[in-house]
């Protein structure tokens, strides 16, 4: 293993991207959930 660098890589964009996916999943899920509640 090489010596670890002091500075961690900046991963802000990665964080926001993964949060976007999580939000997308939740939004679509709740859309389907309310459709379900509406119908059954």
Residue carrying structure tokens 């670890």: 4
Distances (CA, A) of 11 to 3, 15, 37: 20, 6, 39
The vertex-29 CA angle with 24 and 26, nearest 5°, equals 40
- The answer to the question of residue 36 lying near another protein (CB under 8 A) is yes
10 binds another protein (CB under 8 A): yes
The site string for another protein over 11-30 (x = CB under 8 A, - otherwise) reads xxxx-xxx--xx-xx--xx-
Query: Considering the rule CB under 8 A, would residue 6 count as an interface residue with another protein?
Result: no
**Distance, CA of 39 to CA of 21 (rounded, Å):** 27
40 contacts another protein (rule: CB under 8 A): yes
Binding site for another protein (CB under 8 A): 1-2, 4-5, 8-14, 16-18, 21-22, 24-25, 28-29, 32-33, 35-36, 39-40
């Amino acid at each position: 293993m090489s010596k670890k660098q002091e500075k961690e890589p900046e991963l802000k964009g990665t964080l926001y991207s993964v949060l976007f996916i999580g939000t997308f999943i939740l939004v679509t899920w709740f859309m389907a959930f309310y459709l379900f509640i509406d119908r059954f």
